[in-house]
Amino acid sequence: MNVLRLVLCALLANCAYPASGKEPPSAGGAVSRKSKGINFYSRAREIEMGKELSRDIERSARLIEDPVVLEYVNRVGLGIVHQSASLFTLRIRIIRDEDANSLTLPGGYIYIHSGLILAAVNEAELAAALAHEIGHVAARHYVRQASCGDILSFAAIPLLLVGGWPGLLAHEGTNLGGTLVMKHLSRRAEAEADRLGIQYLYEAGYDPTAFVDLLERTSPGDHRPSRSPGFLSEHPSPSNRVRAAQKQIQRDLLPRGEYLLQTSEFDVIHERLAAIARGTPVPWITTTSPSGSDERPVLRRRP
């Protein structure tokens, strides 16, 4: 049994994600796109899990089916995913919800709330929101955390064989420890998705500071004391995320003269989505294809 515990401990050690910024930058100033960690699930199984979970979500969620908005959002996401190490086809759906939130399922299924799209003030911020979720997809966070959960469940089995109150207390202690481990892994996964998302955003040509701008505007304030200590939280605090993002941008990304910040197409889509969310008549547009407009994107130069 001691040998078994050593093996399980070694497996759990491989569940940990690298801390943001711990990997040295490459010659181009970029951090690694890859993510390490134990994973028991094949790509085929991960895609199947995503399909099953997406069916559950779409039975109850109100989806926005407007083809113009969906095509644009998926096209922006496709530009980001091309910079990632993702092994999955991206599928982005929009949930009609005013909360600035999003959800990533295994296998490349991303659900973004209309409220988050409307909270973005330019295309770079929309791309930043998608880049974070694509970071979860590329790193396969869902199945990696599921793999660690499988290890914790297996580790608790020998304790049930002890019997009586000692066995029960030991089992409950293991459950508590497992909960803390999973919450710790969730925080590390969010930090890694931030790190990868910023890298993808930069390589796609967008201004990476848009990630910080969107995060500061949409995150709940953490100036009020929390009712639970940080190690019980499943997400890093907004201020810690902002500081980590700013540090990564300054340290790991080589400055460029120009960045993509805004396009006229974003304004059109933003207005159209706002009308859909309000339930008012949708503005008429002839095309959303980049070839349908000769307007140049707005670029912002780094000082």
Can you give the pLDDT at residue 8?
Answer: 45
* Residue 232: count of CB within 10 angstroms of its CB: 12
Can you give the pLDDT at residue 152?
Answer: 61
Mean pLDDT of 23-34: 42
Residue 87's H or E segment, with its range, is: none
Q: Is residue 179 part of a domain?
A: no
pLDDT at 6 over 70: no
Render pLDDT for 238-293 as a digit per residue (tens, 0 to 9).
Answer: 999 999 999 999 999 999 989 999 999 999 999 999 999 988 888 776 544 444 44
Q: Both tokens of residue 58?
A: 């779409």
Q: Is residue 276 part of a domain?
A: yes
Q: Is residue 8 part of a domain?
A: no
| Higher local confidence (pLDDT), 303 or 184 | 184
Cβ proximity of 217 and 242 under 8 Å? no
Give the start-end residues of each E strand in the chain.
63-64, 91-95, 102-105, 109-113, 259-262, 298-300
Question: How many domains is the chain built from?
Answer: 1
Q: Is residue 33 part of a domain?
A: no
| Higher local confidence (pLDDT), 173 or 198 | 198
Can you give the pLDDT at residue 41?
Answer: 87
Query: For residue 2, what are the contacts with CB-CB under 8 A and spacing of at least 6?
Result: none
Band of residue 234 on the pLDDT scale cut at 50, 70, 90: low
Query: For residue 167, what are the contacts with CB-CB under 8 A and spacing of at least 6?
Result: 159, 160, 161
Ordered DSSP codes for 13-80: HTTPPPPTT-SPP-TTS-------------HHHHHHHHHHHHHHHHHHS-EE--HHHHHHHHHHHHHH
Q: Is residue 163 part of a domain?
A: no
Q: Is residue 195 part of a domain?
A: yes
Q: Is residue 293 part of a domain?
A: yes
Instruction: Give the relative orientation of helices 123-139 and 141-160 as an angle to the nearest 10 degrees.
Output: 40
Q: Is residue 174 part of a domain?
A: no
Render pLDDT for 73-96 as a digit per residue (tens, 0 to 9).
Answer: 999 999 999 999 888 999 999 999
Print the domain residue range for 121: 38-151+187-221+229-298
Can you give the pLDDT at residue 25?
Answer: 40
Mean pLDDT of 49-71: 95
Residue 144's H or E segment, with its range, is: helix 141-160
Render pLDDT for 105-152 as a digit per residue (tens, 0 to 9).
Answer: 999 999 999 999 999 999 999 999 999 999 999 999 988 888 777 666
CA angle 65, 70, 73 (to 5 degrees): 150
